[in-house]
Amino acid sequence: MFTAFDRPDNLPDAIARQIRLKILSAEFQEGQKLPTEFELAESFQVSRNVVREAIARLKLNGLVETRRGVGTFVAGNVNARKFEVIADDLLDAGQLRHVYQLRLEIEAGAAALAAEHRTARQLKTLEAALRETDKAGGDWERGAEAALRFHMAVTQCSNNPYFIRLMEHLSYVFHNAVRTLRYRTTGTERIGHVEKEHHEIFDAIRDRDAQKARLAMRHHLSNGMERYEYLNKKD
């Protein structure tokens, strides 16, 4: 039922993460009773105290509820609760792809809105962010930070506060993934492609071409995810 793992630094967090993913993917349905503490301890090969700590974390986040003498159940209306993506979730390849797909759709829409609603001042800010990505060259750390700022500047140009808040959250959890990808592609032809793709996004927003901006962002992020998966398969 669960995947065994080497002993991480924080066992309760690691166990809570696996259970959380099964709840969010609906492998455990709302109202469904979870395995007993004994069964979970056996599955993870840990003590029941560790399992209790993991369940306590899930309960604190509103994902499960306990009934004295009965057991632990998936809380009702889980999907309507506060939206969040936890950075540790991205350690799972499948979950990373799902979240990246979300990011792709959100950023493509934000780019289209940016082309329609950006102001002249915002365009100057976006252009400055673009120049910073160009200047990064072989400095992967500077490049990663500049790329994140460029993407946030695109979203700011949408002038939609909900897109902006959601992208701020996604950028925060994607921070390490972006840094890793930039580090591993520095010195390769991919960096040149990234710079070209950033310019295509900027040009479309500058020209107020919403459809072109949408497609340019989709192309850019799709290429990034494909490169990330390719590098992971080589490891």
CATH code 1.10.10.10 region(s) in the chain: 11-80
CA separation for the pair 60, 65 (Å, rounded): 9
Range 87-234 classified under CATH 1.20.120.530: yes
Nearest of 200, 199, 112 to residue 157 by alpha carbon: 112
- Structure tokens of 221? 């992020």
Judged by DSSP in three states, 207 sits in coil
Strand 64-67 with 71-74, pairing:
antiparallel
Mean pLDDT of 140-156: 92
List pLDDT tens digits, range 74-110: 998 776 666 677 777 676 777 778 888 888 999 999 9
CA separation for the pair 200, 215 (Å, rounded): 10
CA separation for the pair 210, 190 (Å, rounded): 25
Class of domain 11-80: mainly alpha
CATH code 1.20.120.530 region(s) in the chain: 87-234
Q: Where are the alpha helices (DSSP H) in the chain?
A: 11-24, 37-44, 48-60, 93-117, 120-136, 140-157, 161-185, 189-206, 210-234
Measured CA to CA in angstroms, residue 224 lies from 12, 159, 180, 184, 220 at distances of 33, 25, 12, 12, 6
Predicted TM-score (pTM) of this structure: 0.69
Asked if 130 contacts 199 with a C-beta cutoff of 8 angstroms, the reply is: yes
List pLDDT tens digits, range 168-216: 888 888 787 777 777 777 777 777 888 899 999 999 999 999 999 999 9
List pLDDT tens digits, range 127-137: 999 999 999 87
